[in-house]
């Protein structure tokens, strides 16, 4: 006759499982082994962990990997969750098996040094550190276990690195815009025109939907787009005011696709910064990112004397105002402000680049006007 097994162990399939109530808490989990002796040792360790927590307030040892998984499960709705997943995958090889209390700046140095050696930008490394810091803060301040204890007693200070290698914004002048846009494929040119006249981000333009268009019976405004908060980086509804150039770009797309405004060969585009964009950059010698078009719009608004508050609203920056609730006069004012960057006067920019002040360049508008003065159909 075989010896009696410890109470609370149940064989399910190949492995032994724990099904036991301890101190009013039910434990239901796999031991991860098919051998009874190993399963009993695992149960003994679990019971001792519970006793230490309930009697002495000793927190159970938890790996950073467990905290990372909990964070991802709780935040699967985040707009940046894919980016967080990629960062945590990279981090797992360095700190995944470390106990939470062992994660601090010293143990993060191998990760930081390895990424720097790979030539990764400091901002990318800092994003990983920010995710770690957020997880540790949650573990020490919000996450409670079944014993009424936080996962971590105190969160260590995770210091971000100085971003000396961060690329500075590069607002385009009119001549550079002419060169770049002429080199772009027609579908990218239309999207770029929309970007530099609305300040929208790459993702907002690529996924812009007709259902977000709202007709506005205010003067010559015609319509605007209201992008839902869940599609916007700052988590607020994004009002997109269409000046004359942006309106013309939209009208040229009308009827091409039932869902998305900007498409290529009948499909939505995932990113504007694709091979076509890179080819145009190489051809023109302009190291321009798509986000630089947003900076260009903002700089031109400022040069035209548009107020700070109006620039915030037009660029979709986070503010304390309800930026999708406007009076007729306010909306018309925003529309007029947006049109200051596409009129014939074109405010000139004196740009500070490198260590010297470049000479203000006059607009050479011929090629550009050929792109934007297409007649808008009713």
How does pLDDT run across 284-317, given as a tens digit for each residue? 999 889 999 999 999 999 999 999 999 999 988 8
Residues 274 and 271: their CA atoms lie apart, in Å, by 6
Q: Which of 74-88, 181-195, 232-246 reaches the highest mean pLDDT?
A: 181-195
How does pLDDT run across 252-277, given as a tens digit for each residue? 999 999 999 999 998 988 899 889 99
Other Cβ atoms within 10 Å of 310 Cβ, number: 17
Average pLDDT over residues 329-341: 89
Confidence (pTM)? 0.62
pLDDT given for residue 38 in this prediction = 84
Q: Which of 4-18, 302-316, 345-359, 361-375 reaches the highest mean pLDDT?
A: 302-316
Band the pLDDT of 10: cuts 50, 70, 90. confident
How does pLDDT run across 36-81, given as a tens digit for each residue? 888 878 777 776 666 666 655 557 778 999 999 999 999 888 777 8
pLDDT given for residue 151 in this prediction = 87
Side-chain-facing half-sphere of 179: CA atoms under 13 Å? 15
Reading the block at residue 62, the tokens are: 């938890």
pLDDT given for residue 354 in this prediction = 40
Please check whether residue 157 is in contact with residue 168, taking contact to mean a CB–CB distance below 8 angstroms. no
Average pLDDT over residues 159-170: 84
Band the pLDDT of 33: cuts 50, 70, 90. confident
pLDDT given for residue 318 in this prediction = 73
Q: Which of 147-151, 183-187, 215-219, 319-323 reaches the highest mean pLDDT?
A: 183-187
329: left (phi over 0), alpha (psi -120 to 50) or beta: alpha
Query: Residue 368 pLDDT more than 60?
Result: no
Band the pLDDT of 340: cuts 50, 70, 90. very high
Residues 156 and 108: their CA atoms lie apart, in Å, by 12
How does pLDDT run across 323-332, given as a tens digit for each residue? 556 777 888 8
Three-state DSSP at 263 gives: strand
Strands 15-22 vs 25-30: parallel, antiparallel or unpaired = antiparallel
Query: Residue 116 pLDDT more than 80?
Result: yes
Mean pLDDT (the chain) is 82
Query: Residue 17 pLDDT more than 90?
Result: no
* Domain locations in the chain as residue ranges: 9-56, 64-141, 174-372
pLDDT given for residue 261 in this prediction = 94
Share of the chain above pLDDT 70, in %: 83
DSSP string, 198-230: H---HHHHHT-BGGGEEEE-STT-EEEEEE-GG
Query: Residue 357 pLDDT more than 90?
Result: no
Band the pLDDT of 11: cuts 50, 70, 90. confident
CA angle 20–21–27, rounded 5-degree value: 60
Residues 212 and 226: their CA atoms lie apart, in Å, by 5
pLDDT given for residue 377 in this prediction = 35
Average pLDDT over residues 203-215: 92
Other Cβ atoms within 10 Å of 273 Cβ, number: 15
The structural architecture, per CATH, of the domain 174-372 is: Orthogonal Bundle (1.10)
Average pLDDT over residues 98-103: 92
């Amino acid at each position: 006759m075989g010896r009696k097994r410890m109470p609370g162990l149940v064989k399910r399939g190949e492995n032994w499982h724990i099904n036991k109530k301890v101190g009013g808490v039910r434990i239901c989990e796999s031991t991860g082994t098919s051998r009874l002796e190993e399963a009993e040792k695992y149960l003994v360790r679990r019971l001792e962990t519970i006793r230490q927590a309930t009697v002495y307030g000793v927190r159970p040892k938890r790996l950073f990997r467990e905290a990372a998984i909990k964070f991802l499960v709780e935040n699967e709705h985040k707009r940046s969750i894919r980016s967080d997943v990629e960062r945590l995958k990279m981090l797992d090889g360095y700190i995944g098996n470390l106990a939470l209390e062992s994660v601090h700046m010293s143990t993060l140095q191998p990760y930081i040094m390895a990424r720097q050696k790979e030539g990764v930008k400091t901002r990318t490394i800092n994003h990983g550190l920010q995710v770690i810091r957020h997880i540790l803060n949650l573990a020490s301040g919000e996450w409670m276990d079944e014993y009424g204890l936080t996962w971590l007693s105190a969160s260590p200070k995770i210091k971000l690195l100085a971003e000396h290698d961060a690329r500075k914004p590069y607002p385009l002048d009119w001549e550079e815009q002419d060169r770049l846009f002429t080199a772009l494929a027609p579908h990218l040119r239309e999207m770029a025109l929309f970007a530099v006249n609305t300040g929208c981000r790459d993702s907002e333009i690529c996924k812009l939907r007709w259902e977000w268009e709202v007709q506005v019976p205010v003067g010559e405004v015609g319509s605007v787009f209201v992008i839902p908060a869940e599609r916007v980086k700052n988590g607020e509804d994004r009002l997109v005011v269409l000046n004359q150039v942006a309106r013309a770009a939209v009208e040229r797309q009308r009827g091409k696709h039932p869902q998305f405004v900007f498409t290529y060969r009948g499909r939505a585009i995932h990113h504007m910064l694709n091979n076509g964009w890179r080819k145009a950059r190489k051809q023109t010698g302009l190291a321009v990112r798509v986000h630089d078009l947003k900076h260009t719009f903002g700089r031109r608004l400022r040069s035209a004397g548009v107020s700070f508050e109006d620039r915030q609203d037009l660029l979709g920056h986070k503010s304390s105002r309800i930026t999708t609730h406007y009076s007729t006069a306010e909306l018309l004012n925003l529309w007029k402000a947006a049109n200051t960057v596409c009129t014939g006067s074109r405010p000139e920019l004196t740009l500070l680049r490198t260590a010297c002040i470049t000479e203000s360049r006059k607009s050479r508008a011929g090629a550009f006007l050929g792109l934007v003065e297409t007649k808008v159909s009713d």
